[in-house]
Amino acid sequence: MEHLKKEVSITLMTHDHLDEVAALERVCFSDPWSRNMLAEELDNAMSAYLVALDKEDGSVVGYAGLYVVADEGYITNVAVRPESRRGGVAGALLDVLINFAEGNALAFLTLEVRASNYAAIALYGSRGFRGVGRRTNYYEHPREDAIIMTKVFGDDTDDGNEAGDGGTAGGDL
């Protein structure tokens, strides 16, 4: 894991974080989720959302969401304040989601990313996600394709090419 340039603590998102996360959505995305949409996700038993809090002032500098169906994990959003990017915040959030997936024996994690978001594609690639498809015109404002990236988790029948921890990773979000 890279050294964090921004000192953060990763914790579960609560209703207390909604205003800051909704503001972050508006800064980071051309089609942001509303505060109400985020609140609904917090009440969804199949979803888990994390926030990265600045250790100096407690403000939200990033967040990530995960939707779990059976043994499948769908990363819904990963966002970091522009002034905090390239500081390891997104990687720290992603690492927690990966540890959760491994600890809970999920078969895979998957997500969509703008085809032009090279920094995010590189980050996901560094964590073992691979491009598995494309969704044409998935995004609007501007219209753009999405790259589908997936990280598959092996089971005990792996061929030995992937290092694993035998499922001993902590799995609570």
Catalytic residues: 112, 124
Non-local (6+) Cβ contacts of 19 within 8 A are: 35
- What six digits make up the tokens of 27? 């800064």
Which residues on neighbouring strands pair with residue 150, listed in sequence order? 110, 130
Give phi and psi for 168, each to the nearest 5.
-95, 0
CA-CA distance, 114 to 136, in Å (whole number)? 10
Q: What does residue 61 show for φ and ψ, rounded to 5 degrees?
A: -110, -10
